Amino acid sequence: MKPPESCRNRLSVPIIVLLSLAGLFPVHAADRSVQLRRARQLAERRQALLDDFAADAEQLARKYAGQAPHAADEIRNIAAALMTASDGPAPSVPPAVVTPPLPPDLPPVERHWREQMRHLRDECAADLYRLARSALRADLYSLAFSLIGDVLRMNPDHELARRIKGFRRFEDPERRDDPSYAGEWVSAFEAQMRGGREPHVLHEQFGWIPKKDVARWEQGLRPWKRTWVSAEKEALLRRDFRNAWEIRSEHFLVRTNVSREAGVEVSSRLEAFYDWLTGSFPAFFESPAALRQRFEKAHVRRRSGPRSEPMKVMYFATREEYERRTRGYVPPGIETYGLYWQPDSTAYFFYNPDDPDMDTICHEATHQILDLHTRRARVTAARALARQRRRPSEEWILGRQSEFWIIEGLACYLESFRIVDGQVTVGDPTHVRIEAARVRLLRDQFYVPLETFCRLGKDAFQQHPQRSRLYSQASGVTHFLMHYDQGRYRDALVTLLSSVYQPDARRPLHQPSLAEITGVSFAELDRQYREHILHLETLAAASAEKAFAPADR
């Protein structure tokens, strides 16, 4: 199926680097136009800075082409890798190790070109950082944080950018005499775990364990109360969930009776997901004032504050244990593979060999992370509403009146979260959730117009006779808002999500519509959604054709 001309090249890859065109709250059309123009100006300036860097790097390469061809090739390779990363679909992760000084025994020619290349990168990073500050002043928060990613690609040791991202410089006492070691960039949590009176190490297999006990762990011994037992005996003892393994990480506490190794795998997955989610939606997790403070606090050296309470996760060895523990949480007859239970703020899962990518874990973690980061705002709104009505305060039900679709739609969409070769991808058009959205619209001819769809509250949505199809459409609409036309509506999605999870205490019952937030009529959004799904169909067909093509010989 050939996409319409206007839709071509709008979604060439599952992940795109998106520029913010709006703040947290709806703005008037004139203000939106000014903001859009400013965003485009800043994007053009960003590209000009990157182009200037590429030109300077090429000039440096030509300078050495005659006397040191290998140097010219390496300069071009470094520049090409940086430019590809800047324009690529997924943000690259800067190295954790601080760049060491150049070795003193380098040949003069190599030392000279490497110093000049570092200087070019540092200058470009400084210019990009200033541009990020300009984006922040223009209330373009997503763009500001995207530019911080550019800064760290150019100069992984830009201290202000590192602090904005929540990292601090750490020096391992045992490596201070190593001339090739200049320190590491770590989170405050990692710095606390690795420092202090009893330093811990993050073991790939066992998670955080005391450094002094690593040899015992690797010999097959395990701590049990005040003694050490064999790994086999520990496994028998912890089969009872009352004695479950506990894996503590920066943001989660995973309790499991599957195995410690399985718990560490789940913990690592959750931490990677948390980092991506909070980094990709900064305007949801922090107010504009808080985001500004992150930039400002980067200029002030302060000791980290106390640790926050970790989010609780229970990971059972069998479905039977899971169902026994969650009995009464869902209506009878409904089969679940995991759930987040708001009353106790805990996510529940079980070992499922049919879900190797942990889609369900990402789904429920989305509910857990969004809920716990915004609960205080809903308590405040519920109290404000109670004062207005002169009634006792009641629990705030997410999406009770309308817009319930976005709660489940985003969680379903984020089931497509993958880490491939260290890079995050989200929104693969061939993922089962996105495929279902295409099937519902194009094969089943099922589609609820967005004006009606968005008005559905929690009960109307969950008790709908076509509930499974509504979930599929919610996945598709989320993908549309995230990716259509290079992410035109991504900030609109964040604004809508924020209005659902963080209602305005001044007007607790006011729920802005998607049409209000985007400034586009529902009829036009319906048309664009169909256009987007047709394009996804083309991408999925191309992907399938490539997957089944005969191997080159």
Q: Please check whether residue 315 is in contact with residue 261, taking contact to mean a CB–CB distance below 8 angstroms.
A: no
Tell me, yes or no, whether 270 and 322 share the same domain: yes
Tell me, yes or no, whether 254 and 374 share the same domain: yes
Tell me, yes or no, whether 385 and 477 share the same domain: no
Sort residue 403 into left (φ over 0), alpha (ψ -120 to 50) or beta. left
* Residue linked to tokens 């679940």: 336
Q: Model-level pTM greater than 0.85?
A: no
Tell me which of 395, 423, 448 is where a domain ends.
395
Pairing verdict, β 245-248 and 167-170 = unpaired
Residue 195 resides in a domain: no
**What is the total count of domains within the chain?**
4
Residue 460 resides in a domain: yes
Range of the domain at 117: 29-159
Q: What is the 3-state secondary structure (H, E, C) of 302-351?
A: CCCCCCCCCEEEEEECCHHHHHHHCCCCCCCCCCCCEEEEHHHCEEEEEC
Q: Please check whether residue 345 is in contact with residue 311, taking contact to mean a CB–CB distance below 8 angstroms.
A: yes
Residue 189 resides in a domain: no
**Dihedral angle sign, alpha carbons of residues 494, 497, 502, 503:** positive
Length of the chain: 553
Confidence at residue 261, expressed as pLDDT on a 0 to 100 scale: 97
Distance between CA 179 and CA 344 in Å, rounded? 50
Tell me, yes or no, whether 434 and 526 share the same domain: yes
Tell me, yes or no, whether 323 and 466 share the same domain: no
Tell me which of 352, 371, 395 is where a domain ends.
395
Confidence at residue 24, expressed as pLDDT on a 0 to 100 scale: 38
Residue 553 resides in a domain: no
Tell me, yes or no, whether 378 and 489 share the same domain: no
Neighbours of 9 (CB within 10 A): 8
Tokens found for residue 446: 């099922």
Residue 1 resides in a domain: no
- Report the first-to-last Cα separation within the chain, whole angstroms: 30
Tell me, yes or no, whether 326 and 442 share the same domain: no
Residue 177 resides in a domain: no
- DSSP conformation letters of 247-294: EE-SSEEEEESS-HHHHHHHHHHHHHHHHHHHHH-HHHHS-HHHHHHH
**C-alpha distances in angstroms, 76 versus 30, 102, 309?**
44, 19, 47
| Amino acid identity for residue 161 in this structure | A
Tell me, yes or no, whether 125 and 72 share the same domain: yes
Q: Enumerate residues 6+ apart whose C-beta is below 8 A from 10.
A: 483, 484, 485, 486, 532, 535
Distance between CA 153 and CA 149 in Å, rounded? 6
Tell me which of 395, 420, 448 is where a domain ends.
395
Distance between CA 194 and CA 200 in Å, rounded? 5
Residue 422 resides in a domain: yes
**C-alpha distances in angstroms, 119 versus 56, 122, 125, 183?**
11, 5, 10, 20
Q: Residue 187 forms beta bridges with which residues?
A: 167
User: What's phi and psi for 39, nearest 5 deg?
Assistant: -65, -40
Residue 57 resides in a domain: yes
Q: Please check whether residue 321 is in contact with residue 312, taking contact to mean a CB–CB distance below 8 angstroms.
A: no
Nearest in space to 304 (alpha carbons), one of 187, 197, 172 = 187
Confidence at residue 219, expressed as pLDDT on a 0 to 100 scale: 97
Q: Please check whether residue 186 is in contact with residue 243, taking contact to mean a CB–CB distance below 8 angstroms.
A: no
Tell me, yes or no, whether 248 and 382 share the same domain: yes
**Dihedral angle sign, alpha carbons of residues 188, 192, 195, 200:** negative
pLDDT along the chain (553 residues), means of 10: 33 32 43 80 94 96 90 94 68 81 92 96 97 91 86 95 91 87 92 90 95 96 96 97 97 98 97 91 80 82 65 98 94 90 97 93 97 94 93 93 97 95 89 97 97 97 95 98 92 94 93 96 98 95 63 37
Tell me, yes or no, whether 306 and 432 share the same domain: no
User: What's phi and psi for 171, nearest 5 deg?
Assistant: -120, 120
Q: Please check whether residue 496 is in contact with residue 403, taking contact to mean a CB–CB distance below 8 angstroms.
A: yes
Tell me, yes or no, whether 231 and 247 share the same domain: no
CATH code where residue 259 lies: 3.40.30
Tell me, yes or no, whether 256 and 388 share the same domain: yes
Distance between CA 240 and CA 250 in Å, rounded? 26
Q: Please check whether residue 220 is in contact with residue 201, taking contact to mean a CB–CB distance below 8 angstroms.
A: no
